[in-house]
Each structure stands twice: as structure tokens, then as C-alpha cells.
């Protein structure tokens, strides 16, 4: 059954909504898990996403985007509220890197970015939440810029620009960090083994 027909039926038929749930629950759970790093919280938030979707499906309007974009938008908001309410630092799970689908449409090959996954993870965790979301949508969920724009409420052009800037900044971070660390080690040796004024962690 095509999606538009299923959505129409789901507005009055819980069984049809259950089919939508089965179709998208794994994708929504994966996104939430990557943003929380906690399976239990991811399961709870995923359930809330679909409960909220079921409550509001009568008001859903097809605007040319996949139904999943609407679900991701709900999940995006719930995750943001979860971080705010719990005063938690934004999280990007390393599992997200393990499931990256490497592309070649960035400033340079994205494959180069994931050679040092630990360094990349640390760099991503320093990014603002919206850029972490963008990377998950792009590399894990493999959404198009149009779909991502619908979720993040940005134009397709704005998403593309943010994507390129994010990759460029990650590349710069991964290139410059080893140089800064080498400089700090040199300063440490020059001071006769004294602790440098700025730690390597602080320099990153």
C-alpha cells in the first residue's frame, strides 16, 4: 500500500497507523539513540514520538515530503527538550560513526574524516546540536537535503551550506589538532618537563 493511502487510513484506523509504526520505528529509534547514547531513554522517547504522532495525525498535511520527515521533526523536538530538561550535554554516539555511509559529495572525500574515529567523535561532540543532527540525517539516515530541510525547518540551500561548512570545520579540526598537540609537547620539553600552561585537552 502506498504511503499516502496508508496515512489517510491511519487517521481513522489504528491498524493502519500500526503499519506506519512498523515501517519507521527502527529509523526513528536509531536517530534518537545516536542523540542520547542511551538505549533505555531512546526507547522511551521513540514511544513518545509515535504516541504524539498518533495524537496529531488528523492534522497532518502532505506537503510533498515523506511522512518520515514529520516523524523526525517530532523526534528532533522531543530530543531537544530531553536535553534541556535534564541539563544534559548534547551526545553523539560512536555507533553513529560505525554506521556512516561514506559519500564523496563533500569538500573532499568524507572517507578521510573517519580514519581516526575517536578524534572525529570528539570533534563532532563539540559541534552545536543542529550540526550533530545534520550529520546523523546525512550519513546515518541518508536523507536528502530537501528532507533534512523539512525536519530542521530550513531551506534546501541552507542545509547544503551548513553541511559543507560543517565538513570543512571538521577537516580543519582534525588537521590542526595534532599540530597543536605537537606544539604543546615541544613547549613542555622546552620548559624542562614542567606542565604546560594550557593542557592538550584545553587546546582541543
SS3 state at 197: coil
Residue found by looking up cell 622546552 in the block? 190
- Level-2 CATH architecture, domain 1-91: Orthogonal Bundle (1.10)
Closest CA to 167 of 87, 109, 82, 85: 109
DSSP code at position 195? P
**Is the alpha carbon torsion for 30, 151, 75, 123 positive or negative?**
positive
Average pLDDT value for residue range 148-159: 92
Q: Return the CATH class of domain 103-204.
A: mainly alpha
Count of other CB atoms within 10 angstroms of residue 157: 10
pLDDT-derived band at 108 (thresholds 50, 70, 90) equals very low
CA distance 146 to 63: 12
DSSP code at position 17? H
Count of other CB atoms within 10 angstroms of residue 46: 24
Does residue 179 carry a pLDDT above 80? no
Q: What are the grid coordinates assigned to 99, written together? A: 554506521
CA distance 160 to 134: 10
Q: What residue segments make up the domains of the chain, in order of their start?
A: 1-91, 103-204
This prediction has a pTM of 0.72
Average pLDDT value for residue range 49-77: 92
More confident residue, 177 or 73: 73
Amino acid at each position: 500500500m502506498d504511503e499516502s493511502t496508508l496515512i489517510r487510513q491511519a487517521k481513522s484506523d489504528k491498524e493502519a497507523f500500526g503499519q506506519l509504526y512498523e515501517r519507521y520505528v527502527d529509523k526513528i529509534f536509531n536517530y534518537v539513540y545516536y542523540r542520547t547514547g542511551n538505549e533505555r531513554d531512546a526507547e522511551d522517547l521513540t514511544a513518545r514520538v509515535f504516541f504524539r504522532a498518533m495524537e496529531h495525525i488528523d492534522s497532518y498535511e502532505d506537503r510533498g515530503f515523506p511522512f518520515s520527515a514529520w516523524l523526525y521533526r517530532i523526534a528532533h523536538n522531543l530530543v531537544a527538550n530531553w536535553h534541556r530538561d535534564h541539563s544534559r550535554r548534547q551526545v553523539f554516539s560512536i555507533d553513529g560513526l560505525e554506521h556512516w555511509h561514506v559519500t564523496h559529495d563533500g569538500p573532499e572525500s568524507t572517507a578521510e574524516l573517519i580514519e581516526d574515529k575517536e578524534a572525529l567523535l570528539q570533534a563532532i561532540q563539540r559541534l552545536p546540536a543542529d550540526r550533530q543532527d545534520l550529520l546523523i540525517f546525512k550519513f546515518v539516515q541518508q536523507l536528502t537535503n530537501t528532507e533534512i530541510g523539512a525536519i530542521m525547518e530550513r531551506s534546501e540551500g541552507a542545509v547544503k551550506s551548513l553541511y559543507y561548512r560543517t565538513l570543512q570545520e571538521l577537516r580543519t579540526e582534525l588537521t590542526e589538532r595534532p599540530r597543536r598537540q605537537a606544539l604543546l609537547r615541544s613547549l613542555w620539553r622546552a620548559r624542562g618537563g614542567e606542565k604546560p600552561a594550557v593542557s592538550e585537552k584545553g587546546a582541543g
